[in-house]
Every structure is written in structure tokens, then in C-alpha cells.
Amino acid sequence: MDITRKTKVVFLHRKGQTGAGSKIMRCDQLSEMCRQHLGDAFEFSVVSQRPLRNDAAIRETCKAFNDCIVILLKGTASMFGEEGMYKLSRNARAVCIDYVDADISGSFSKFADVHIGASRVGCQMLQRMLDNCGGEASGGQVMHLTHHTDPRLLGRRCRRLDKVRAGYLGHSANVYLPGEVKKRVRVLDYARDSKIGDTFDALCDFNMHYCVRPPARRRRTWQIAKPFTKGFTAAALGAVVITSRDTDDAVHYLGEDYPFLLESLDEAEIIEAFDKADSLLGTLTWKEALDRMELVRSRSSPEWIMQEMRRILSTFT
């Protein structure tokens, strides 16, 4: 009987990232999604990497990943150092780095075969970083892997409402709610990333999701980009999203003419956008906004993301 040997794929993260949202989603949840959709050809696992205290530990660790496709979560490459990343690249079948929303300069390694961006803006930044390496890079390439929504949201839909109800899912420190705007948005906060699922029932009570970051957090260096996860979450639930035009990837997914794009963070403009939403609920314009969100949903669905992942992995098989 001919049994084809599956290629091993390892999601590798720092031990200290165990409870972080990026690790939960881009390692635990993503590996499970991969098992369901790509398990015919690949064998997936998640490994927690302890500190590498000496050269012997680095050599032993690198040998353990012999002939594996290793996907390092942001920051993990720095544990190996330049020499360790070189050794890893010599042992592994392929080395990929998933930067998610990290500072690219702090996670970059010229020995990676694939630099994975979770957003289109992130991919552009990675390409610039790679181009700046010139001949020093090992021929790596940039590839896009859309940030998925939490699988526990699948099958949930926002309830039919006769008025606009806006909600924000996330930590209160990461949202901009000036003055009167705070009265128009309910914040669904959670104690830690592992408890986000506790908010999902309540999230269905909102037909508009608020996605506006504080000005201080928007003034980032060019090495950092954020995936459009809150937009994907709204789309998965059948809600619309209100966000600023300069939010990473917002225009890419929503289009230039999406009705709830903010031009600025002026409080009066945000209030005006909410008033506009109130007047548009149930109209053709609202339906067109929902149609746009349905396109966003399809382009962030497990099926779409797994097509992207298969393209990445198939590069090395």
C-alpha cells in the first residue's frame, strides 16, 4: 500500500506568548483550521519555544525541526539570533515568519524563505524591508495570509434590530471615544485575550462595529501594520463597520465609496457618521453597505485563508 508521507508544519512561538491573542489565533486556531482543510497533505503542530541559552541548545532545537516547514510567530526569530536563524534555515525544509501586527524590524530575519503579512499594508512594508536587504537576503519572498476571525463566531449572526446599535470589541485602551461619541458605542472589554469568547453572545446585539484607534496609537513607525480584524469580525456577523479611511486595509476591503468611512477623528464628524447611519438603516444604501461587508466576509473566510496557506506551503512541496 502506497502511503504518502505528510510534510510536517510547525507553528513556533515564544513560551511567554502562550496567552497572547496573536498566539491563540495565529498558532492554535490557525493550526486547527489547517488540520481541517489541509490535513490531507500536511501534519500540523504548535510548539512553545523555551529560551535558547547557548549554542548547544540552538543546535539541538534546529535539528529537531529537520525537514519541517517552520512558521515562527512574531518575535520568535530574535530568540535564535542571526547565527541560530542560519542554522534553522539549514535544517528546516523552509522557514517562514508571521509578523501579524509586530514591529517588522524587530522580527525580521534575512534567512526566512517566506515573510508572511497579515495585511496588505504589512506586505508592502515587508517588501520594502526585503528590498533594502539587497543581496544579503536568502531569496525570500513576501506572501499574504489574511487574519481569520475567531472560529467560535462562525454560525453566529447579529440580531435584527430596528435601530443602529454600535459596539466595540476589544480593550478600552485601544479605542478612540471622544466626548459624546462614548455615549454612542458600547465597549465589550475582556480581562485577557483567552476570555474574549465570553463576549460573543453580547456581540450579536450590535449591527455596527466601531473600529477607530486613538491618535497616539495611529502615529506608528512604518514598520508596524495592523490587520483589518475588527472589520472581518463585523463581516462574519453580518454587521457593518465604521472606521477611519486611513485604517490599514480599510479602503482595500471596503472600497473608496463605503458610506461609513471617516475622513478624520474630529468628534463632530464621528457623531455625524452615527447620525447618518441612523437615517440610512433599512435603506438601499445600508443594504449596499451590507453587500460590501459580505464581500469582506468571503475574502476573510476559512476557505479563502486556506487557499492562501496552501499556496505558501506548496512552495516547498
Mean predicted confidence (pLDDT) in 111-123: 95
Instruction: Please tell me whether residues 77 and 179 are part of one structural domain.
Output: no
Mean predicted confidence (pLDDT) in 170-197: 89
Mean predicted confidence (pLDDT) in 109-120: 95
Q: How far is CA 98 from CA 112, 259, 260, in A?
A: 10, 33, 31
Q: What does pLDDT average to over the chain?
A: 92
Domain count, the chain: 2
The answer to whether residue 263 scores a pLDDT higher than 90 is yes
Q: What is the pLDDT of residue 173?
A: 86
Q: What is the pLDDT of residue 169?
A: 93
Instruction: Please tell me whether residues 113 and 159 are part of one structural domain.
Output: no
The answer to whether residue 2 scores a pLDDT higher than 50 is no
Q: What is the pLDDT of residues 66-92, one digit of tens each?
A: 999 999 999 999 999 999 999 999 999
Q: What is the pLDDT of residue 189?
A: 83
The CATH number that applies at residue 279 is 3.40.50
Mean predicted confidence (pLDDT) in 17-29: 91
Instruction: Please tell me whether residues 94 and 195 are part of one structural domain.
Output: no
Mean predicted confidence (pLDDT) in 27-37: 97
Instruction: Please tell me whether residues 34 and 133 are part of one structural domain.
Output: yes
Q: What is the pLDDT of residues 122-174, one digit of tens each?
A: 999 999 889 888 766 667 999 999 999 999 998 899 999 999 999 999 888 88
Question: Is 58 domain-assigned?
Answer: yes
Instruction: Please tell me whether residues 14 and 135 are part of one structural domain.
Output: yes
Instruction: Please tell me whether residues 252 and 115 are part of one structural domain.
Output: no
pLDDT > 70: percent of the chain = 95
Cβ-in-10-Å burial (0-12, 13-18, 19+) of 283 comes to exposed
Mean predicted confidence (pLDDT) in 196-202: 87
CA angle, residues 19, 74, 255, in degrees to nearest 5: 100
Instruction: Please tell me whether residues 110 and 171 are part of one structural domain.
Output: no
Q: What is the pLDDT of residue 217?
A: 56
Question: Is 248 domain-assigned?
Answer: yes
241 versus 130: the higher-pLDDT residue is 241
Contact 161, 207 (CB under 8 A): yes
Question: Is 188 domain-assigned?
Answer: yes
Mean predicted confidence (pLDDT) in 206-229: 81
Question: Is 1 domain-assigned?
Answer: no
Instruction: Please tell me whether residues 92 and 134 are part of one structural domain.
Output: yes
CA-to-CA distance for 251 and 256, rounded, in angstroms? 6
Question: Is 31 domain-assigned?
Answer: yes
Mean predicted confidence (pLDDT) in 260-282: 97
The answer to whether residue 218 scores a pLDDT higher than 70 is no
Phi first, then psi, for residue 88 (nearest 5°) are -60, -40
Contact 130, 99 (CB under 8 A): no
CA-to-CA distance for 246 and 266, rounded, in angstroms? 14
Contact 47, 18 (CB under 8 A): no
307 is in which domain, residue-wise? 7-148+301-314
Q: Which residues contact 248 (CB under 8 A, 6 or more apart)?
A: 119, 120, 121, 122, 225, 226, 227, 228
Specify the pTM. Answer: 0.92
Instruction: Please tell me whether residues 184 and 290 are part of one structural domain.
Output: yes
Q: What is the pLDDT of residues 285-306, one digit of tens each?
A: 999 999 999 999 999 999 999 9
Instruction: Please tell me whether residues 79 and 99 are part of one structural domain.
Output: yes
Contact 119, 248 (CB under 8 A): yes
Instruction: Please tell me whether residues 120 and 255 are part of one structural domain.
Output: no
Q: What is the pLDDT of residue 150?
A: 93
Question: Is 271 domain-assigned?
Answer: yes
What is the band of 4 on the pLDDT scale with cuts at 50, 70, 90?
confident
Question: Is 2 domain-assigned?
Answer: no
Residue 61 cell numbers, joined: 532545537
The CATH number that applies at residue 43 is 3.40.50.2000
The answer to whether residue 221 scores a pLDDT higher than 60 is no
Instruction: Please tell me whether residues 158 and 108 are part of one structural domain.
Output: no
